[in-house]
Amino acid sequence: MGRKQERYRVNEERTYNGTPCWEWLLAISKYGYGIDYINGNNVRAHIASWERVNGKVPENHDLDHLCRNRRCINPDHLEPVTRAVNIQRGNGAKLNAETVREIRQRYADGNITLKQLEDEYGVSDSAIGSMIRGKSWTNITQEAAA
């Protein structure tokens, strides 16, 4: 097996949609992403893998690991999304699209205060206010809740 083929292994224990993760085995960044060395430059291995199959990542987009495995370079486990969507989907996110719709609706109904929402959902009052005013989570619409 050549050096190129030895860069990753198929991990049958970590799957997404029934397909295994291809875990990068060489250099890993402090953030847990594989690092490849191409044409004299360090690049994130999952980006290089995606681009080999699909072409350039669309401008102003990140690749989201749908399998939640940062070492995975399987192009089928990657999706180009805006930075906001990528952050919203992240492991550390306290809210999701459904919760944002729920918060907005509850506030619009007029039966709850920003402070009550802050306490209940465990996020700051500025985050709640920004969400309700449409300054954050702009990609989430109420219509999608139906």
Per-residue pLDDT of the chain (146 residues; tens, 9 = 90+): 444 556 778 888 888 888 999 999 999 999 999 999 888 999 999 999 999 999 999 999 999 999 989 999 999 999 999 887 887 777 667 777 888 889 999 999 998 988 899 888 888 888 888 888 888 888 788 765 44
pTM flag (> 0.85): no
3-state DSSP assignment of residue 59:
coil
CB 105 within 8 A of CB 142: yes
Sign (positive or negative) of CA dihedral 66, 71, 74, 79: positive
What does the radius of gyration of the chain's CA atoms come to, in whole angstroms? 19
Q: Does domain 5-89 have CATH number 3.90.75.20?
A: yes
For the chain, give every domain's residue range.
5-89, 97-140
